[in-house]
Structure formats: structure tokens, C-alpha cells
Amino acid sequence: MKERLWTKSFIMLMVGNLFVFMSFQMLIPTLPPYIKSIGASGLEIGLVTALFSIGAVISRPFIGFMLEYKARKSLVISGAVMLLLITILYPISQVVLIFLLFRLVHGLAWGWSTTVNGTAAVDVIPNSRLGEGMGYYGLSITIGMIVAPSLGIFLYKITSFTNLIYISALLGVIAIVLLMIVRYQTPEAVLNTKKEDLKFSYVGSLVEKSSWFPAFITIIINLGYGSIVTFIVIFGQERGIDQIFLFYIFNAIMATVARPIAGKWFDEKGPIGLVLFCTILTFIGMWVLSYAHSSLLIAIAGVFFGLGFGCLIPTLQSWALLMTPTNRRGVANGMIFSSIDLGIGLSGVIFGALAQFVDTASIFRIASLFLLIAIALVIIMEKKKRAVASQENIISKKKVRTSF
């Protein structure tokens, strides 16, 4: 019999995380115009995203270390409360410098919350259904990232920034209530560990050696995906396509449909074939997008992305967590999220510089080469792994023969 996945705790944690993402993501498209309205320069508007990403990456090693010895509930609730407090403070930040400081602190809290929530989810999911469970859990992230920005833009247009903050805060309060209902399952190895037994190393809490490879592949893939995040709106303007939102809608729909299937594939057959298949679909999606001159092709590109990239990140996350000892899963989880931030951030810098010399469609095609690199690395690593296993099998047989 399959171990039970759909427990009350898993459902509450998933829905609670959805509200965390809704509360946060609805602010992303509205903060740049707000800081511009209070006198920010172009560079300062750019720092809205940069400082946030820096804060998230900085905080994750510290929270990863804490997850090695602290119970889950206090960490999850603390992260959600910190996000709520920072959100409430935004309307009083009428000075650009103070606003940017809030963004850095918001990034620190976001790095905390995403790491502990993801780790808590792993703890309540049966190990035999880890891929399937993380696929469903990932839907709370995907839906939040797709729905909330549109909601935020709509509210920003019809009401004041302060009212937008109140609505965001309300969603944050709901998230806290839901997360408090969860019965968290902290691993025994964590409960039996004291802080005094551990020695903090920033690098050691930033990188989990046992699962470095999935994290490295995550960076490379997001180097390609980051070009989409940065330039898709500009691409739509260049091609005269008003319905660029279709890319996100079909992306979300197909990711929602495909993730449960991908999760079962992961649990039954492992990550390698699934990673390769999803990366190929993402590659095709980037090329379809680069040739799009109509809303139809934009939608088709969204379908490929939803089936490919929509399943790829949760698969890489599950792969990393499967390779990691239970007491180090917090570090591994933080490493994956930091890999996403690092990949997208570097992509923005690389292709932002390249955009001065080539058109946006060419940027997408060049960026797709990172996906081919990821495919090649996974195949090479798998061949090496099989070669080592074969050699060990031969040595083992020789030992058995000599013992007789």
C-alpha cells in the first residue's frame, strides 16, 4: 500500500504556502512604480530587485544551519510573521534609501520563509512519494507566482498603494493562521542534535556536498530561463503582440496538469530521464517563443514551458532532497532556492549586456544553449555513475570468487 500523502498537515502547509506567495508576489510588479513615484532613479529602481535577491541568498545558509537542530513550527511561523511585518511597513517608506533598506530586509525574510516552508513540506511527505508530493507542493508556488502579480497590478490601478498593502497583509495573516494548524514532523536526527554539537560554516550551510550536482544544473537551467523573465514583455512589444499574458496562463495550466504525473514518474523511475525530457521540452519552448509573431505561438510556447520548466524545478529540488541526509535537507533546500536566484540574477546581467548587440529573439536562442549544456552534463554524470557502479560490481564479484 502507498503511504498516505494527503494528510491535513500537508494540505494546510500547501495552502498556507500559497497565501505566503500570493501575499508576496502581488507586490513584485507594483513596487518599482511606487518607488519611482517617490523619486527613485533608474539605478535605484533596479536595486529594488537586486537588493531583495542579495538578502534572500545571504539569509539561506543561516536558516539552513538552524534547520539542522531546531523544530520546524517556530521557524515556519517566524518567517511568515517577518514577511507580514515588512509588508506593513512599506507605506511609511517615503524615503528611497529607507525603502531600499526594507527591500534588503524583505529579501532576508523571504530567504528564511521559502527555505523553512519547503523543508517542512519534505518532512510531512512520505519518502516513497517525495517526487509526487513536492510536485503538488510546487503548485502552491506556481499558482501564487502566476495569479498574484496580475492581481497586484489590477489593485494598483484601481486603488491606492496603501490599500494594496492592506490586502497583501490580509493574505499574510491568513497564511499564518493556516501554517499554525499544521502538525509539523521534525526528523529525529534534528531533534537529537543540539546547537552546541554543530559548528557553523557559511559555505557549509550554503552548499550541501551530497546534492551539489542538481543545484549546479538548477543554476545552468535558470541562466537560460532568466532571459525569459527579463525580456518577454519587451519581446512582446517588439513583435506587436498584446496577449503576452497567454504565455503565463498556458504555462500555469500545463504545469498544474503535468506535475502530478511528473512526480509519479520521479518516484517510480528516478530523476534522470525526467530531467532530460523536461529540459528538452523547455528548449523547444524557447525556440517556439523566439519565432513567435502571433498570440497562438505565444500560447504554444507557454504549453511547452509548462510541461518542461514547470516540472523541471520541482524535479531538481526532489532530486537534491533525495540525495541529502534528513538532517541536512534544510541546507539542500536553501541551496536549490539560492541556485534559482543566482541563475536568474546572472542571466539578467549577461543578457542585459548582450541586448545592446542583438535582438530579443536572438537572446532567447542563445540562452537556450544553457539548456543543451545542462542536458550534456546530466548525460555525462549518469554515464560516469554507471561506469563506477559497473566497476564496483566487477570488483565485488572478484572478491566473492577469491573467497572460495
**CATH code of residue 306:** 1.20.1250.20
Higher pLDDT residue, 389 or 377?
377
In a domain, 276, yes or no: yes
Q: Does the pLDDT of residue 67 top 80, yes or no?
A: yes
pTM summary value:
0.76
Q: Which one of 185, 213, 235 terminates a domain?
A: 185
Average pLDDT over residues 324-342: 85
pLDDT at res. 396: 67
Looking at the fold, whether 156 and 209 belong to one and the same domain comes out as no
Same domain, 145 and 221: no
Query: 270 in helix, strand or coil?
Result: coil
Hey, is 69 helix, strand or coil? coil
Same domain, 220 and 165: no
Among 51-60, 62-71, 367-376, name the one with the lowest average pLDDT: 51-60
Residue % of the chain over a pLDDT of 70 = 94
Q: Which of 151, 185, 219 is the last residue of a domain?
A: 185
**pLDDT higher than 80, residue 30:** no
Instruction: Give the integer Cα–Cα distance in Å for 69 and 200.
Output: 12
Q: What is the pLDDT of residue 109?
A: 94
* Tens digits of residue pLDDT in 279-332: 999 999 999 999 999 999 999 999 999 899 988 888 998 899 889 888 888 888
Does 402 lie in the same domain as 275? yes
Q: What percent of the chain has pLDDT over 90?
A: 35
Average pLDDT over residues 256-260: 84
Closest CA to 23 of 94, 114, 137, 115: 114
Region of 270 on the Ramachandran plot (φ > 0 left; ψ -120 to 50 alpha; else beta): left
**Domain shared by 151 and 263, yes or no:** no
Residue 328: domain span: 204-404
Confidence of residue 16 (pLDDT cuts 50, 70, 90): very high
Q: pLDDT averaged over the chain? A: 86
- Compute the distance between CA of residue 27 and CA of residue 236 in angstroms, rounded to an integer: 23
| pLDDT grade for 404, boundaries at 50, 70 and 90 | low
**Does position 14 have pLDDT exceeding 70, yes or no?**
yes
What is the SS3 assignment for 70-102?
A: CCHHHHHHHHHHHHHHHHHHHHHCCCHHHHHHH
Is 194 among the domain residues?
no
d(CA 185, CA 196): 22
Q: Are residues 63 and 91 in the same domain?
A: yes
Q: How many CA atoms lie within 13 A of 72 on its CB side?
A: 28
Residue 115 in any domain: the answer is yes
- Split into its structural domains, the chain has a count of 2
Residue 107 placed within a domain: yes
- Residue partners of 66: CB distance under 8 A and separation at least 6: 75, 330
Q: Lowest mean pLDDT: which of 11-25, 119-133, 345-359?
A: 345-359
In a 10 Å sphere around its CB, with 0-12 CB exposed, 13-18 middle and 19+ buried, how is residue 116 labelled?
buried
> Are 14 and 72 within one domain?
yes
Query: How far apart are the C-alpha atoms of 127 and 262, rounded to whole Å?
Result: 16
Q: Tell me, yes or no, whether 196 lies in a domain.
A: no
Q: Positive or negative, the Cα torsion across 177, 159, 113, 260? A: positive
- Give counts: helices (H), strands (E), the chain: 16, 0
Q: What is the pLDDT of residue 314?
A: 85
Quick check: is 195 in a domain?
A: no
- The answer on 148 and 260 residing in a single domain is no
CA distances from 327 to 64, 101, 186, 317 (A): 10, 33, 9, 16
Please say which residue of 185, 219, 242 terminates a domain. 185
- What are the tens digits of pLDDT across the range 196-224? 888 888 888 888 889 999 999 999 999 99
Are residue 369 and residue 223 in the same domain, yes or no? Answer: yes
Within-domain flag for 124: yes
Determine the Cα–Cα distance for residues 362 and 215; give it in Å rounded to an integer. 27
Find the mean pLDDT for residues 161-183.
Answer: 94
Residue 123 lies in a domain: yes
DSSP string for 104-122: HHHHHHHHHHHHHHHHHHH
Whether residues 145 and 209 share a domain: the answer is no
Confidence of residue 403 (pLDDT cuts 50, 70, 90): low
> Which band of pLDDT confidence, cut at 50, 70 and 90, is reported for residue 264?
confident
pLDDT tens for each residue of 81-132: 999 999 999 888 778 888 889 989 998 999 999 889 988 998 999 888 888 8
- For residues 9 and 141, state if they share a domain: yes
Contact call for residues 331 and 215 (beta carbons, < 8 A): no
Pair (294, 348) in one structural domain: yes
Comparing 331 with 169, the larger pLDDT belongs to: 169
DSSP 8-state assignment for residue 324: S
Average pLDDT over residues 157-170: 90
